Amino acid sequence: MFNTRIKIKEVIQSDRVDYSATVMGWVRTFRNNQFIALNDGSTNQNIQVVVALGMLEETTLKRITTGACIKVVGEVIASLGKGQKVELKATSIEVLGDSDAEKFPLQPKKHSLEFLREIAHLRFRTNTFGAVFRIRHSLAFAIHSFFNQKGFVYVHTPIITASDAEGAGEMFRVTTLPLDGSAPKNDDGSINFKEDFFGKSTNLTVSGQLEGELAAMAFGDVYTFGPTFRAENSNTTRHLAEFWMIEPEMAFCDLEDNMNLAEAFIKYIIRYTMEHNQEDLAFLSQRLEEEEKQKPQSERSEMSLLEKLAFVVNNDFERITYTEAIDILRESNHNKKKKFQYLIDKWGIDLQSEHERYLVEKHFKKPVILTNYPKEIKAFYMRQNDDGKTVAAMDILAPGIGEIVGGSQREERLDKLTERMKEMHIPTEELDWYLDTRRFGACPHAGFGLGFERMVQFVTGMGNIRDVIPFPRYPKSASF
Ligand code: 4AD
Ligand code: MG
């Protein structure tokens, strides 16, 4: 049997000593031909492997370089040195994979996040990205656990679709037609998609919501958790062209129930990582504090990452309407002193991220749920309020991030929905299947979408969304 190894996490976290163990991992550093810091990704901590002088041939010693993969058999003993409880006294070391020290891009020193993004295929092997991606895993696990406990059914909605769920036209086309001008054409010169693979024009999904609604009209409570794609040309620290979204959809649910679920959900998954990823969170919190020291006092955050997470799980989110938010923003000194790039002058405008962040970071200093937005700036499927101007929408805004959740109660009244679709030039024929939910046994229902990467950003404190997904896709970039 090849694999008799135990994970380094198990060795380090136990107080047990004086037993023999086999570990395998990647060398972080090798000091004085004597001390190897070895990491296998199970924990942020390295195990110290002690190599007795003269134990290894000179040729083997030379092969123990940063990045090399080795197998160590040895005795776990109480550590003689400072910084660790136990260490591994090697009895044999085998090099499984060499790593040319001259060429390996990850040197045992601090690299910038920008540089590491260029070598994203190797950045898993750093402390920061090890912590980030273990936390990403935990959050995904906690999400399934939350919904499973509540009896939600996980529905896999399609990745390739013919509809634009958000009606925003930000889609990546999927086609097998040639791009050299020889694609079949209609009489009017447009491309004849009847000849395309699916016999119609298709794209990558922007959201699984519409299909989620169909399933909710049978199972009651469902959720999707999958990749979504948006061809918006946004080069920001909050946007990706490929991101993962969690979209629960609940029958017999109104806007308030929806907000309650979303708030409980966010608190649950944060709490889960606080319990299961203490070491990684402590590392990232520390990392952020170091980073903050570079900033002028006035720009530093008042809370550490750990304090911020504890604060969020222990306090109610603020809930206000869009109209109240506009009043607060309009009357703010920030607005009066023209510190916003986009000044708030009238009701009806879409909020920019600077406004969202002002509300959560300066005004309320906690997550805020904004409700009842003007219908003009929201999607066609949102339930129309009696005032004729607003819809039963809710966005959750998080400190440091801005919008993290977008959701709404859905328009279940067929006449109101089709009327709104026509006003917004959404083709009702193509969404006839969707309208069937309103024809056959419609009920009040609601749901929301949580941007997974924005959530990972919030929990890890990472400033750029490109650093919380292994291989980010954004304008002009699809490496790896
Ligand atoms: O607000 P959005 O567009 O809502 C929907 O897609 C609804 N269908 C959700 C629903 O009600 N089922 O997107 C939801 C969330 C946003 O709040 C944001 O967190 C994230 O998805 N998001 C993005 N994350 C990264 N990059 C992008 N380009 C994103 N666009 C949206
Ligand atoms: Mg939104």
DSSP class per residue in 277-345 = -HHHHHHHHHHHHHHHTTS-GGGS-SS-HHHHHHHHHHSPPEEEEHHHHHHHHHHSHHHHTT-SSS---
Q: Answer yes or no: do 324 and 391 share one domain.
A: yes
CA of 395 to the centre of ligand 2 (A): 7
Please choose, from the candidates 206, 205, 212, 215, the residue with its C-alpha nearest in 3D space to the C-alpha of residue 247.
212
Question: Which residue's entry shows tokens 């929408």?
Answer: 393
- What would the pLDDT profile of 156-204 be if each residue is shown by its tens digit? 999 999 998 888 889 999 999 999 999 999 999 999 999 999 999 999 9
Is residue 119 domain-resident? no
Q: Answer yes or no: do 255 and 289 share one domain.
A: yes
Phi and psi for 127 in degrees, rounded to 5? -60, -45
Ligand 1 atom having least distance to the Cα of 249: 12
Q: How do strand 47-50 and strand 86-97 relate by DSSP bridges?
A: parallel
Q: Is the distance from CB of 89 to CB of 64 less than 8 angstroms?
A: no
Is residue 184 domain-resident? no
Is residue 327 domain-resident? yes
CA of 379 to the centre of ligand 2 (A): 9
pLDDT exceeds 70 at position 437: yes
pLDDT computed for residue 457 by the predictor: 98
Q: Is the distance from CB of 395 to CB of 357 less than 8 angstroms?
A: no
- What would the pLDDT profile of 344-370 be if each residue is shown by its tens digit? 999 999 999 999 999 999 999 999 999
**Mean pLDDT, to the nearest integer, of 416-421?**
97
pLDDT computed for residue 122 by the predictor: 96
- Among protein residues, the one with the nearest Cα to ligand 1's atom 21 is 451
Which residue spans within 180-277 are E strands per DSSP? 202-204, 221-229, 242-251
Q: Answer yes or no: do 234 and 328 share one domain.
A: yes
Q: Between the CA of residue 116 and those of 77, 119, 280, what are the distances in Å?
A: 35, 5, 19
CA of 449 to the centre of ligand 1 (A): 6
| Average pLDDT of the residues of the chain | 96
Question: Which residue's entry shows tokens 């097998």?
Answer: 176
pLDDT computed for residue 32 by the predictor: 94
**Mean pLDDT, to the nearest integer, of 445-459?**
98
Confidence of residue 2 (pLDDT cuts 50, 70, 90): low
pLDDT computed for residue 1 by the predictor: 61
CA of 372 to the centre of ligand 2 (A): 13
Is residue 120 domain-resident? no
| Buried residues in 71-97 as b, exposed as e (16+ CB within 10 A) | bbbbebeebeeeeeebbbbbeebebee
From 223, 224, 229, 245, mutation site for ligand 1 pocket: most ligand atoms within 8 A of C-beta: 245
- What would the pLDDT profile of 384-408 be if each residue is shown by its tens digit? 999 999 999 999 999 999 999 999 9
| DSSP code, position 384 | B
CA of 230 to the centre of ligand 1 (A): 10
Please choose, from the candidates 303, 248, 305, 264, the residue with its C-alpha nearest in 3D space to the C-alpha of residue 281.
305
Is residue 377 domain-resident? yes
Q: Answer yes or no: do 335 and 386 share one domain.
A: yes
CA of 245 to the centre of ligand 1 (A): 7
CATH of residue 432's domain is: 3.30.930.10
Residues with a CB atom less than 6 Å from ligand 1: 165-166, 207, 209, 230, 232, 239-240, 243, 245, 247, 403-407, 447-449, 451, 453-454
CATH of residue 103's domain is: 2.40.50.140
- What would the pLDDT profile of 87-138 be if each residue is shown by its tens digit? 999 999 999 999 999 999 998 889 999 999 999 999 999 999 999 999 999 9
- Among protein residues, the one with the nearest Cα to ligand 1's atom 20 is 451
Q: Answer yes or no: do 10 and 51 share one domain.
A: yes
- Among protein residues, the one with the nearest Cα to ligand 1's atom 31 is 451
Q: Answer yes or no: do 68 and 160 share one domain.
A: no
Looking at the chain, how many residues does it have?
480
- Ligand with the closest atom to the CA of 247: 1
- What would the pLDDT profile of 217-226 be if each residue is shown by its tens digit? 999 999 999 9
Q: Answer yes or no: do 94 and 134 share one domain.
A: no
**Mean pLDDT, to the nearest integer, of 19-32?**
97
- What would the pLDDT profile of 259-303 be if each residue is shown by its tens digit? 999 999 999 999 999 999 999 999 999 999 999 998 888 888 889
CA dihedral (170, 171, 177, 179) positive or negative: positive
Please choose, from the candidates 116, 445, 380, the residue with its C-alpha nearest in 3D space to the C-alpha of residue 250.
445
How many other C-beta atoms lie within 10 A of the C-beta of residue 237? 14
Q: Which domain holds residue 41?
A: 2-108
Ligand 1 atom having least distance to the Cα of 407: 11
DSSP 87-116: EEEEEEEEEEE---TTT-S--SS---HHHH
Q: Between the CA of residue 202 and those of 158, 177, 193, 224, what are the distances in Å?
A: 12, 12, 9, 20
From 353, 454, 457, 469, mutation site for ligand 1 pocket: most ligand atoms within 8 A of C-beta: 454
Q: Answer yes or no: do 104 and 132 share one domain.
A: no
Is residue 113 domain-resident? no
pLDDT computed for residue 167 by the predictor: 83
CA of 286 to the centre of ligand 1 (A): 30
CA of 450 to the centre of ligand 1 (A): 6
- What would the pLDDT profile of 291-339 be if each residue is shown by its tens digit? 999 888 888 888 999 999 999 999 999 999 999 999 999 999 999 999 9
pLDDT computed for residue 103 by the predictor: 95
| Buried residues in 402-430 as b, exposed as e (16+ CB within 10 A) | bbbbbbbbbbbeeeebbebbeeeebeeee
State the Cα–Cα distance between residues 157 and 209, nearest whole angstrom: 8
Tokens of 62: 């030379």
Q: Answer yes or no: do 38 and 164 share one domain.
A: no
Q: Answer yes or no: do 18 and 153 share one domain.
A: no
Q: In the chain, how many domains are there?
A: 2
From 152, 214, 243, 382, mutation site for ligand 1 pocket: most ligand atoms within 8 A of C-beta: 243
User: Which residue type occupies 275?
Assistant: E
